Amino acid sequence: MNMTAIAFFMIVVGIPVSAGVGGDMFKRWLRHKEAMTTALNAQTAEKAAQYAAHVERLEERVRVLERIVTDRGMALADEIERLRDAPLN
């Protein structure tokens, strides 16, 4: 076989086979990346839901604390006023 025949064989057979194998590898890599992205998105959505639930619980606790402080503050002010008005014995 001479060099021209080898070069012709590489062009006619080698390049299309290499392109086909490379294209198949790229398609597999792309499917893998899509699967990884889908899994990451699901994981991120789950974490966001967990954080939202946690924030909601914290906000409820803050509302309770605000209510305790506010209610106690008014009761304390009333108690101080009653003590001021009470006669000294």
As a whole number of angstroms, the distance between CA 25 and CA 22 comes to 5
Rg, the chain, Cα only = 38
- Could you give the 3-state DSSP secondary structure of residue 1? coil
The whole-angstrom separation of Cα 50 and Cα 55 is 9
Residue 30 in this model has a pLDDT that exceeds 70: yes
pTM for the full predicted model: 0.49
Mean pLDDT of 54-70: 86
Residue 89's pLDDT is: 59
